[in-house]
Structure 1
Amino acid sequence: MEYFSEEASAQVVNTRIGDGTDVRFRTIMTSLVEHLHAFIKEVEITDAEWGEAIDFLTRTGQMCSEHRQEFILLSDTLGVSMLVDAINHRRPSGATENTVLGPFHVCDAPIRRMGETITLEGKGESCLFQGRVVDLHGNPIAQATIDVWSDNPEGFYDVQQPDLQPRWNNRGRFITGDDGRYCFIGIKPVSYPIPDDGPVGQMLARLGRHPWRPAHMHFLVTAPGLRRIVTHTFVANDPYLESDTVFGVKNTLVQHFRRCAEANTEWQAEFDFVMVPEEILS
C-alpha cells in the first residue's frame, strides 16, 4: 500500500482502478490522470487558481441548454474538436476534408426539391450552391443526402432566434439523383461571432482572442456504404480565414463565390464532394 504523495500522486490514483474496469476506459482514465497531475505539477497551480477553474467549469455547464452547448464552444475554441476530428477522419488525398460539426446542427431538417430555396425570411444576398457528389474516381453518387445549414445575414442561426426567424430557416436536405448533382438557393454566408456572453467568451477575452468565425456554409453528406462528410465551405477573402476562433478552416475548403449572371440569384458557388468507402481509413 502506497499512500498519496506529491511525487507518486498519479500512480496512487491509478492503482485504485478496479480489476474489472473496461480496458479502453482504463487506458483513457489512466492517461488523463497522468497528464492532469503532470500539468498541475508543471504550473504549480494555486488553491485560488484551481478554485477559479472549478468555478469556470461549473458556469460552463450552467450555460448549456437545449439550444446552446457551451462545452462544445469550449472544445472548439481550444482546438480540441478539430484535433479529435482530424484523428478520427483521416482520408486519402483527393477526398473532401472534414471540419467541425459545430453546435447549431439540427437533425431531420426538411427534405427539399433540388433547386429549392432554404432561405425562408427573404433576407440576405441570394446564392446558388451547386456541384456534384462523386467518388475518388469521379463517378457520380446517387441517393446521397446533403444536409445544409447556415446563419442569416445578421450572423444568427434559426435556433438562436426562435422568436425572430422561421423554423428551419436556412436549413434543408437534398437527395442526389443518378448524376450525383445537387443545387439549392441560400444566401451568401456572413462572418459571425460565436456566442461570447458566457464563460468561453470571457476566456477568449482574457487570452486576447476574438470570437469570430469566417463566413461559411455547413454541409453534412451521407450515402450508403460511404464515410460521411461533415464540413464547411468558406468564403474566400474573408478577413477571419486565418484566425477562425474554432480553427476550422482548411485550404481545400475555401471557395470562391462569384457574381451570378443569371437573374434569379446574386451569387454562385460550386463545390464537389468526394466520398470514400467506409473501410478506407487513410
Structure 2
Amino acid sequence: MRDVTPETLTQAFADYAAKAGDARTKEVLCSLAKHLHAFVRETRLTHAEWMAGLMALTRAGEISTPERNEFILFSDLFGVSALVDMVNTPPGATSCSNLGPFHQRGAPPLPDGGDLWKGQPGEVMVVAGRVLDAGTGQGVAGATLDMWQNADNGFYAAQDAAQPAKNYHALLTCAPDGSFAFSTTRMQPYTVPYDGPAGDMLRALGRDAWRPAHLHVIAEAPGYRHLVTELFLADDPYLDRDAVFGVRSDLVVPLRRIPGASAPRHLQAFERLPGTVLHAELVIRMARA
C-alpha cells in the first residue's frame, strides 16, 4: 500500500489480515494494532522513546527464565493481568486474581484439619471456611484447594533453599459440605523483582514494588469452573498499593485473635496451638461450568 498515512495505517493493517484463518485471532490482533497505533498518534512517540521501549523488551527477554518471566511481570505491573482476571470472573463468584510465579504442581495432600504450620517461625494462624456454589450458596461437594504461601521470612519455598521442598504448599480436600480448616503461619508482604526493566518502570513512576500478604488458592470441584485467586489479610499496609493490582474487596479477609482452645478441635495441631492464635474465616464461591 503506497499511500498509507497515520490516519489510514490501522485500516491497512486490517486489510492485510483479510485472509486470516481464524476469526478470533484476527479480531484480537487487529484490535491490538488499532490501540498501538492510537497510542503512537496520541503521544507522538519519538524515535528515542520507541527505541527505549524496544530495548526494554529486549532486556526482558534476556533476563527471563522458567522461574522468572519479565514479560509476565510487565503484564502484572501494567495491570493487564489483573484486568484479564476481572473480565473473566463469573458473576457472583469469588474474584479471580494473580497466579504468581511460585505455584508448584504436585503439592502434598492435606486433609481437612491439616497442619502447614509444623512449628515453624511466625505467628500461628488458623484458617477456616467453606467452598460455596456461587448461585445457590450451598456447600460444594468434592472441592479441593491447591494452596501456597510464603514463610515468615517472606520467601516461598522455591526461592529459599533453607526451606523444605514444597513448604507451605498443599492440596487440601474439603469436607463433603465444602468446609475446611487448617493451621499455618501468617504470610508476609514481599516485593516483586525490581532489578530489571520492569523495576526501571516502577522507579520511573515512583511506584512501590510491594505485594500485600496473601494466600494463593486454586479451587476445583466436579462440575465447576476452576478458580485461581488470592486471599489478602485485612490489616496489611500494602492493600491499597499492590504492585500488581491483585486486591479486590471480596478477597480481603477479616482477622481476629482467638484463644487457641477456641480453634476447631479437629485440627491436627490443636493440642500444640499457643494460647492465642490469629483466625481467618474464608468464603470461596465457585461458578458452575
TM-score (norm 2): 0.89
The reply to whether residue 105 of structure 1 matches residue 116 of structure 2 is no
Residues 14-163 of structure 1 aligned to structure 2 (within 5 Å): 14-92=14-92, 95-119=93-117, 122-135=120-133, 136-161=135-160, 163=161
**1:120 Cα deviation after fit:** 6.0
Secondary structure at the aligned position of 1:220 is classed as strand
Secondary structure at the aligned position of 2:109 is classed as coil
Q: Using a 3 Å threshold, how does the CA distance of structure 1 residues 90 and 113 change in structure 2: closer, same or farther?
A: closer
* 1:169-199: CA deviation from partner (whole Å, max 9, x where unpaired): 1110111232321122221111111111121
Q: Using a 3 Å threshold, how does the CA distance of structure 1 residues 47 and 116 change in structure 2: closer, same or farther?
A: same
Query: Partner amino acid for 1:206?
Result: A
Q: Using a 3 Å threshold, how does the CA distance of structure 1 residues 107 and 277 change in structure 2: closer, same or farther?
A: same
Post-superposition, which runs of at least 4 consecutive aligned residues in structure 1 deviate over 6 A? none
Matched-pair contact (CA < 8 Å) for 1:121–1:169: no
Matched-pair contact (CA < 8 Å) for 1:120–1:169: no
- The runs of 5 or more residues in structure 1 that have no matched partner are none
The reply to whether residue 275 of structure 1 matches residue 286 of structure 2 is yes
TM-score (norm 1): 0.91
* 1:191-235: CA deviation from partner (whole Å, max 9, x where unpaired): 111111121111101100010111111111110111222222211
Matched-pair contact (CA < 8 Å) for 1:81–1:100: yes
2 CA distance for matches of 1:140 and 1:30?
43
RMSD: 1.8
* Percent of aligned positions that are identical: 39
Q: Using a 3 Å threshold, how does the CA distance of structure 1 residues 10 and 137 change in structure 2: closer, same or farther?
A: closer
**1:2 Cα deviation after fit:** 4.0
Query: Partner amino acid for 1:264?
Result: L
**1:67 Cα deviation after fit:** 1.3
The reply to whether residue 264 of structure 1 matches residue 263 of structure 2 is no
